[in-house]
Structure 1
């Protein structure tokens, strides 16, 4: 089976076409010592329903199915565009949560519409006050007063503990954010099914949406991850993200 390794802000994926992988295959391929190494596996096929240029499905590195992934969506948009599956730079991709609009911009960046988001209740856990948010998948966001405090957080321990919190019966992605300047936030993220990652598209939307709702920022926000910066625009209850998505290398997985 042929594959393409892609990454968006260091959030990396194994992109394949063809049959649905089983959880064991996903875990094996994503293993960074014995496999290809990735945060997840993207299955791409086309076309999708309602005129979508392609369909996508995503599995986390632990083999679990992921409902939504902004950086994965941007990688799929780049993949589809580079293969000429779409007419023009703006098109739609079918995901497990519906149809998503995407655009491959002339400067090489990729914009993706992540649909509607919802901000939920406050949740206290591990000594921190989080705000829950849904961006097609669940998030818990907390703000700190300085990036230095974020760096001292044991995100692995807190992320694992949050998976058993009664407020999140299906698990949750966890974001710690701190302001760098007006409208710019430094963020670390722990993704359910993958652990701490270099970036998370839906997590960026969750942080931007909560920051905007709390008066910490306007509708346009820059999220600075260890893997790089992602632009976010929130309007009403919808959101767009914009950033790079690139191919790294191609190869073949033995049968």
Structure 2
């Protein structure tokens, strides 16, 4: 059985998109996601995206990380599929229903309201999520926030100097985080500008993370470090993040289609 796919990316965070909205596909699980994501023997991607019909939105988006784990939300993928859909849409995800508005070369996504309660992150036990009394090798007092998926944000003098490839896996899998965690290290440049690097749960170092940008912006705003609209500069490029008075986060940025192709399902089953 030959399956069509679209390869896309948002600021270098790349996806293989499979569309099952009008054509049934075989069941997809962790093994298939890992095989397709492999950059040597598969198509290669940070996340495998599966589009399906939805009873509560225009369509459903399922997200599999490169390690095969299924996650609740992905901001960059939301922009990519909005670009693919070409029309305003409501997208059902494991983290809630998002609203997407295609723009020239990208999309604006209503990511909904952030959550800060320790049980909503979730954490293993109660603590202040605005300044967590924990530290890992010099990274200390992070902010925890759930924006459809869980994040911790560390504010540091120079995000580029942090050995995130070394400390990221340790924090991601710490028992404090029952569902693992996305790790963000950020430097506030001024009231409107943040530099950010992200260790993404299940994928590792990434050129861009949309939910990470949202989480980091909201964390900076909660601490009074920035205004309510900022530009977050990631290694792959900038995203515009606004936290409205209605509590909803709007993320605006580019997305692009790289190429299309087909593969034989049996090669990855």
Common topology (TM > 0.5): yes
Instruction: Specify whether residues 20 and 235 from structure 1 end up closer, same or farther in structure 2 by C-alpha distance, changes over 3 A only.
Output: farther
Q: How far has the Cα of 1:76 moved from its partner?
A: 1.4
Q: How far has the Cα of 1:128 moved from its partner?
A: 1.2
Unaligned runs of 5+ in 1: 82-88
* C-alpha RMSD of matched pairs (Å): 1.4
- Are residues 1:99 and 2:97 paired? yes
Query: Which 4+ stretches in 1 moved above 3 angstroms?
Result: none
Contact 1:53-1:80 within 8 A present in 2 as well: no
- The residue aligned with 2:110 is 113
- Are residues 1:32 and 2:30 paired? no
Q: How far has the Cα of 1:200 moved from its partner?
A: 0.5
- The residue aligned with 1:6 is 8
Q: How far has the Cα of 1:231 moved from its partner?
A: 0.5
SS of the counterpart of 1:118? coil
TM-score normalised to the size of structure 1? 0.90
Work out the number of aligned pairs and report it. 242
Instruction: Specify whether residues 19 and 100 from structure 1 end up closer, same or farther in structure 2 by C-alpha distance, changes over 3 A only.
Output: farther
Matching of residues 144-223 of structure 1 within 5 Å: 144-145=156-157, 149-223=158-232
- The residue aligned with 2:126 is none
Question: Per-residue displacement from partner, 1:42-96 (whole Å, max 9, x unpaired)?
Answer: 00123x223x221110000000001111111111111222xxxxxxx42211112
Question: Per-residue displacement from partner, 1:125-165 (whole Å, max 9, x unpaired)?
Answer: 232111111111110101112xxx32221112211101232
Contact 1:20-1:43 within 8 A present in 2 as well: no
Question: Per-residue displacement from partner, 1:164-193 (whole Å, max 9, x unpaired)?
Answer: 323211110000111233311110000010
Unaligned runs of 5+ in 2: 20-24, 117-128
- Are residues 1:143 and 2:158 paired? no
Contact 2:239-2:253 within 8 A present in 1 as well: yes
